[in-house]
Structure 1
Amino acid sequence: MTTAPSTSTAPAKDPVDPEPSSRPGLTLLALAIAGMVASVQQTLVLPLLPRLVETFDTSVSTVTWVFTVTLLAGAVATPLLSRFGDMYGKKRLITLTLSVMCLGSVLCALADNLGTLIAGRALQGVAAALIPLAIGAIRDSFPREKVTSAIGIVSATMGVGGALGMLVTGLIADHTESHKPVFWIAAGAGLVGLLLVTLSLRDTGARTGGRPDMLGAVLLAGFLVCLLLGISQGNTWGWTSASVLGLFVGAVVLCALWVAVELRVREPLVRLALLVGPRSLSANFASLLLGFSMFAGFTLISTYVQTPKDAVGYGLSGDVIDVGLYSLPSTVTMLVFSALTGRIEARIGAGYTLATGSFVVALSFGWLALFNDTGTDFLIYSAVMGTGMGIGYAALGTLAVQHVPMDVSGIASGVNSLVRTAGGSVASALTAAILSAQVIAGTEVPTHGAYVVCFTIAAVGAGLTAVVAAFNGMRHRAA
């Protein structure tokens, strides 16, 4: 290994403006669809988990791997493919990622056993890299005056796609007992995105080139797998079990080795001196907290809506399709406000815009902690939450990359996306621990109070995001 020259944390100035896309509207549509497909595949199985338990005659803890494996695969793939996008071109990596996701969707659609389904879901999880790659492509190819709005629209697809995933699953599950049609639709949507990207996106922008940091990639992958696997399986295996403690120890050791390698190699996978600066740290911490709240909402609403009120005294006695229908208002408001966020950012900056959106998200979860008896309560929550997420995620996409040089925008956005995934894993583990610890006597059904606690924690997470983002806005007002 060769010692790298010292690197300043100040972002280098880009020598030239990006070469503008000749068809920015079509390019934005293609990238937005690619981002939407990536987000849809993350949540489309959540309403199906109880059904998969019966289909494959297995336990709940085993079936949760259908969701967990996508988080692990996405966590490993996101920084690697984002960095490769900076090195070899965003279009090449976007088309590769979409192709892998389509292959995974087809494998899931053909799966007749749980092992094959989990393998297909791992391939689908690679799609988590699509949104950071798309953000990098926008910085490369869009006129500067359109970059903020375009990043906002693509970033908002994270929340829109997540809500649509549950809606599509609900509609299909209402007409068939099989899980396979859901994955055929995901494969078809992926092919549409692949075709549009191939036809419209131009591979412009500077490429860093060089050789990939394979040792750094292996160490980072090992660290992420140990960390996220320990978090996601802590409730099932036991937080003090040898397996979980061993994973956390392994994560610490591998992280230390990875940092040591990245500080010494000439061409590191991640430029630590650049990406751990004050602005990057605040953007990534905000992403962690907001990702926590979003994923907490997805998992909590899915189970609460399907809880039989007559039997336990709370819930909405809904089914899979109802989960999707209650998320419909958030889909609409996310789309509307993500498109308007560019104008807001132009006036007050990305930091204050993120703070505004996060505060609205906190209000939505606060509402749900207080009012959760009727479907109207959940429709109000959904509309308000979608407004906040539409503004917040749109601003977060800009905040993650606006201070870094063009040639590392992919990895900067990728790290931000990775941290958001970690926040989702923490949310899943924490809410599961609370719901399993507070149950109705003689049953395994969580108490109503357990859900209220979880809604409150999600509100606090979003509120802390607003504080971090406001601090970022005050500190970097001039920029």
Structure 2
Amino acid sequence: MDAPHPSARTGGVVATLAFAGTVAAVMQTLVTPLIAELPQLLNTTSSNATWVITVTLLVSAVCVPVSGRLGDLLGKRRMLLVCAVPLFVGSVVCALASTVVPMIIGRGLQGMGMGMVPLGIALLRDVVPKEKLSSSIALVSASLGIGGALGLPIASAVAQYASWRVLFWGSAVLALAISALIWFLIPDVPAGAKGQRFDVPGALGLAVGLVCLLLAVSKGAEWGWTSTTTLGLFVAAVVVLIGWGFWELRTKDPLVDLRTTARPRVLITNIASLFVGFGMYAGMLIAPQLLQFPEATGYGLGQSMLAAGLWMAPGGIMMMLVSPFGGKLTDARGPKFTLICGVLVIAAAYGLGVVLMGSAWGLMLFLMVSSSGVGLAYGAMPALIMSAVPASETAAANGFNTLMRALGTSIGAAVIGAVLSQMTTEAGGFTLTSEAGFRTGLLFGCGVAVVAVVIAAFIPAVRGSAATGEKADEAASPEVAAARS
């Protein structure tokens, strides 16, 4: 592995990248407390208002792999600064919006900032000493989950006690702070794939395929899973993504090197990431509903949005605390072991949730245990990826892995949402998810986590440090290995 960049201050670099990832993830949950009020605030329909959330998902899914590849080509620090620009501009646009169209535009711009997470993880390989690399990767990777967990109570408090526009002015200030920290604390290191071309057709093909797939997944329940629109989007996604795959295999400088992605260590890790993303989001979808359902149902806990967010906040804190321990576990036993342990903890948490779902304390404990497992798993997956790809592909490979996690959460939201909507009961003239529906959702999450354990068990092991990528460089690029020796 290369020596760390001489100008790098390790502590400041890791803190800055973790902060950047957390803020980018907070943007995803920023409008959650406003969902019910958006139609009135923006003078639009409930159906149109849902695009305020959907557009962020779509744009981030498209931009994450593109940002990763551009980081390899142009430099990761430069792309981190580029990602901060739409975060700021999008926040200002949302803060000034009075109708749904500018709000959707602003939320789309905010979604572009999610590229910070894989860029930050990849940059660590260039600037952090070997002995600190695993724990640093674990913390920055877990920032994706930490931001999502902490964003809800923070946004709820601001929305309840101040104007909703304060949420977006606050996020604009955070974007400026991130830009300043990146500018002053993140060193500029040479681009790993400098001189290669950016794959424009590959980027467009992946964008079209992902948009079709995610639109069908996220809007299928609203449009009807058997509707012409939903089925047409699924078919289009399959056709476009197959064509994209053929193109990536034939072009000289692909957006995503599918030959590298097909290596067993990378491929199986990415498949496991889908299931881990699913497992993480199932609990995040069920817990707030149980907390906020009226007590008259017999199983709801009657909490306000703010109170529910506060009950959920310890989960994000646990993720932050567990991540460094996960890095040490990776150093001692390897990232595969850490991933399996993390997913086993997630599965156990769902079993705990089934038993303790009748109290707010029980749900808080469930989320704390589940988030601890997510912290372990999220830190291990990038280490597995970087141990199997050359240095010139680290940002792109991490971007693709982040995309797999995001696809998992999207599929999880659709599947668990379908379960909860089908298993209902009548209460006070309203149709609500039944207690059995919530228990089924928790059991479903447990089952998915068990499947992830089985998949992770098939990840090939490697000897030596798993996070440095030395083995990958030797196998995939003799020139890089020679330069490092």
Q: Return 5+ residue gaps in structure 2 as ranges.
A: 465-485
Match of 2:413 in 1: 428
- Letter paired with 2:187: R
Q: 1:207 aligns with which of 182, 192, 202?
A: 192
Alpha-carbon distance between aligned partners in 2 of 1:238 and 1:187, rounded to the nearest angstrom: 37
Range 358-367 or range 33-42, more displaced: 358-367
TM-score norm. by structure 2 comes to 0.91
1:436·1:444 contact (CA, 8 Å) conserved in 2?
no
1:300·1:451 contact (CA, 8 Å) conserved in 2?
yes
- Letter paired with 2:453: A
Spell out, residue by residue over 1:446-466, the C-alpha distance to the aligned partner (whole angstroms, 9 max, x if none): 111111111111122222222
Spell out, residue by residue over 1:174-196, the C-alpha distance to the aligned partner (whole angstroms, 9 max, x if none): 313x4211112222112111110
1:369-388 pair list within 5 angstroms: 369-388=354-373
- Letter paired with 2:244: W
Alpha-carbon distance between aligned partners in 2 of 1:299 and 1:330, rounded to the nearest angstrom: 14
1:20·1:143 contact (CA, 8 Å) conserved in 2?
no
Cα shift at 1:95: 0.5
Spell out, residue by residue over 1:105-161, the C-alpha distance to the aligned partner (whole angstroms, 9 max, x if none): 111111111222111111111122111000111112222222211111101111111
**Secondary structure of 2:336 counterpart:** helix
- Letter paired with 1:94: L
Is 1:469 aligned to 2:450, yes or no? no
Is 1:125 aligned to 2:111, yes or no? yes
Q: 1:158 to 1:232 in 2, by over 3 A?
A: same
Match of 1:455 in 2: 442
1:260-409 pair list within 5 angstroms: 260-310=246-296, 312-409=297-394
Q: 1:60 to 1:299 in 2, by over 3 A?
A: farther
2:86·2:112 contact (CA, 8 Å) conserved in 1?
yes
Spell out, residue by residue over 1:187-224, the C-alpha distance to the aligned partner (whole angstroms, 9 max, x if none): 21121111101101112144313221111111110000
Match of 2:142 in 1: 156
Match of 2:404 in 1: 419
**Secondary structure of 2:8 counterpart:** coil
Alpha-carbon distance between aligned partners in 2 of 1:58 and 1:450, rounded to the nearest angstrom: 31
Q: 1:69 aligns with which of 41, 44, 55?
A: 55
Match of 1:140 in 2: 126
Alpha-carbon distance between aligned partners in 1 of 2:148 and 2:342, rounded to the nearest angstrom: 18
Cα shift at 1:65: 1.7
1:326·1:382 contact (CA, 8 Å) conserved in 2?
no
Q: Return 5+ residue gaps in structure 1 as ranges.
A: 1-13
Spell out, residue by residue over 1:209-251, the C-alpha distance to the aligned partner (whole angstroms, 9 max, x if none): 3221111111110000001111111101111111111111111
Cα shift at 1:34: 0.5
1:26-45 pair list within 5 angstroms: 26-45=12-31
1:41-52 pair list within 5 angstroms: 41-52=27-38
Is 1:56 aligned to 2:62, yes or no? no
Spell out, residue by residue over 1:37-81, the C-alpha distance to the aligned partner (whole angstroms, 9 max, x if none): 111111222232122244335444432222211110011001111
Two-structure CA RMSD over aligned residues (Å): 1.6
Alpha-carbon distance between aligned partners in 1 of 2:387 and 2:7, rounded to the nearest angstrom: 19
**Secondary structure of 1:445 counterpart:** strand
Q: 1:89 aligns with which of 61, 75, 78?
A: 75
Alpha-carbon distance between aligned partners in 2 of 1:357 and 1:20, rounded to the nearest angstrom: 34
Cα shift at 1:255: 0.9
Range 160-169 or range 377-386, more displaced: 377-386
Alpha-carbon distance between aligned partners in 1 of 2:25 and 2:382, rounded to the nearest angstrom: 15
1:48·1:320 contact (CA, 8 Å) conserved in 2?
no
Q: 1:166 aligns with which of 152, 160, 177?
A: 152
Q: 1:423 to 1:246 in 2, by over 3 A?
A: same
Alpha-carbon distance between aligned partners in 1 of 2:247 and 2:316, rounded to the nearest angstrom: 43
- Letter paired with 1:135: I
TM-score norm. by structure 1 comes to 0.93
2:60·2:111 contact (CA, 8 Å) conserved in 1?
yes
Q: 1:477 to 1:83 in 2, by over 3 A?
A: closer
1:186-197 pair list within 5 angstroms: 186-197=171-182
The count of aligned residue pairs is 461
